[in-house]
Chain A
Amino acid sequence: MPFWKIAWRNIEQRALASSLTALSMALGVAVMIAVIVIHSVAVRQFEQDAQGYNLIVGGKGGALQLVLSTVYYLGQPLYPIPYSYYEKFIDDGEFADLTEVAVPECLGDSYVAPNGEVFRIVATTPELFDKIHYGNYADGTPKRYEFQPGGRNLKNALSLSGEEFEEAAFEAVVGSVAAARSGLKVGDKINPTHGLGAEGHKHDAFTVVGILKPTGTANDRAVFINIEGFYLLEGHALSGHDDHEAAAHAGEADHEHDHEAEDAHDHDHEDDDGHDHEHAHEHHEPLPLDQREVTSILVLCKSALGPTVLDTAINKGEGHVAQAVAPIREVTRLMDGIVGPIRLILLVLTVLIVIVAAISILVSIYNSMSERSHDIAVMRALGASRSAVMNIVLVESILLSLGGGLLGIALAHGMIGVASPYVEARTGVTLGWLQFEWQEIVLIPALVVLASLVGFLPAVSAYRTDVAKALTGSR
Chain B
Amino acid sequence: MLLVENVKKSYREPDGSTLAILDIPRLAVDAGEQLVIRGRSGGGKTTFLNAIAGLASVDAGRIVLDGTDITRIPEVGRDRFRARHIGFVFQTFNLLAGFTAFENVLLGMTFTGQPRDSKRAINLLGRVELGHRLSHKPAALSVGEQQRVAVARALVNRPMLLLADEPTANIDPAHQQQVIDLLREVCRDENVAMLLVTHADEVSNQFERVEHLEELNRVVAE
Contacts and interface: CB of A to CB of B under 8 A. Distances in A.
Closest A-B pairs by Cβ, 3 of them:
A383-B83, A383-B111, A13-B98
Contacts of B98: 9-10, 12-13
A454 B140 CA distance: 35
Interface stretch (B74-82, B170-178, B210-218): B74-82
Given A468-B50, A468-B55, A383 B99 contact: no
Nearest to A11: B98
A382 B76 CA distance: 13
Nearest to B91: A472
Interface string A8-47: 0110110000000000000000000000000000000000
Interface size on A, as a range, is: 20 to 34
Q: Is the interface of B mostly helix, strand, loop or mixed?
A: helix
A379 B82 CA distance: 11
Interface in B110-155: 110-112, 116, 153
Contacts of B107: 1, 6, 379, 382
Given A1-B116, A380-B79, A468-B55, A475 B11 contact: yes
A383 B55 contact: no
A384 B110 contact: yes
Contact of B110 (A1, A12, A467): A1
A9 B79 contact: no
A385 interface: yes
B110 A6 contact: yes
Given A9-B98, A381-B53, A471 B90 contact: yes
Contacts of B112: 383
A384 B103 contact: no
Given A13-B97, A468-B56, A385 B76 contact: yes
18 contacts: A6-B107, A9-B99, A9-B103, A374-B94, A375-B96, A378-B95, A378-B96, A379-B111, A381-B94, A382-B88, A382-B107, A383-B80, A384-B83, A385-B76, A385-B80, A467-B56, A468-B55, A468-B56
B7 interface: no
Interface string A370-409: 0000110011111111111000000000000000000000
A434 B116 CA distance: 41
Given A1-B103, A380-B55, A385 B79 contact: yes
A468 B47 contact: yes
B108 A382 contact: yes
Interface in A131-171: none
Contact of A1 (B46, B47, B82, B106): B106
A383 B79 contact: yes
A386 B112 CA distance: 14
A471 B150 CA distance: 15
B84 interface: yes
Contacts of A383: 79-80, 82-84, 111-112
Nearest to B54: A383
Contacts of A471: 55, 90, 94
Contacts of B103: 1, 9
Max chain B CB contacts within 10 Å: which of A378, A383, A475?
A383
Contacts of A468: 46-47, 50, 55-56
Interface string B46-90: 110010010110000000000000000001100110111000101
A150 B84 CA distance: 81
Interface string B165-203: 000000000000000000000000000000000000000
Max chain A CB contacts within 10 Å: which of B47, B80, B98, B112?
B98
Contacts of B94: 374, 378, 381, 471
B166 to A, nearest CB: 11
B96 A472 contact: no
A382 B110 CA distance: 9
A10 B97 CA distance: 9
Interface in A420-472: 467-468, 471-472
A467 B82 CA distance: 14
Given A380-B55, A381-B88, A386 B75 contact: yes
A374 B93 CA distance: 12
Max chain A CB contacts within 10 Å: which of B46, B83, B97, B110?
B110
A261 B107 CA distance: 94
A252 B75 CA distance: 84
B111 A384 contact: yes
A388 B113 CA distance: 11
Nearest to B88: A381
Interface in A107-140: none
A418 to B, nearest CB: 36
Contacts of A475: 11
B97 to A, nearest CB: 7
Given A381-B88, A468-B47, 14 more contacts: A6-B110, A13-B97, A13-B98, A378-B90, A378-B96, A382-B110, A383-B80, A383-B82, A385-B75, A386-B75, A386-B76, A388-B111, A468-B46, A471-B55
Contacts of A472: 46
Contact of B79 (A1, A12, A384): A384
B130 to A, nearest CB: 18
A374 B96 CA distance: 9
Nearest to A467: B55
B222 to A, nearest CB: 20
A380 B96 CA distance: 12
A385 B55 CA distance: 11
Max chain A CB contacts within 10 Å: which of B56, B76, B107?
B107
B157 to A, nearest CB: 9
Max chain B CB contacts within 10 Å: which of A1, A9, A384, A471?
A1
A374 B98 CA distance: 13
Contacts of B83: 382-384
Contacts of B46: 468, 472
Contacts of A10: 98
A375 B84 CA distance: 19
B14 to A, nearest CB: 11
A324 to B, nearest CB: 72
Contacts of B76: 385-387
Interface string A343-375: 000000000000000000000000000000011
A251 B49 CA distance: 92
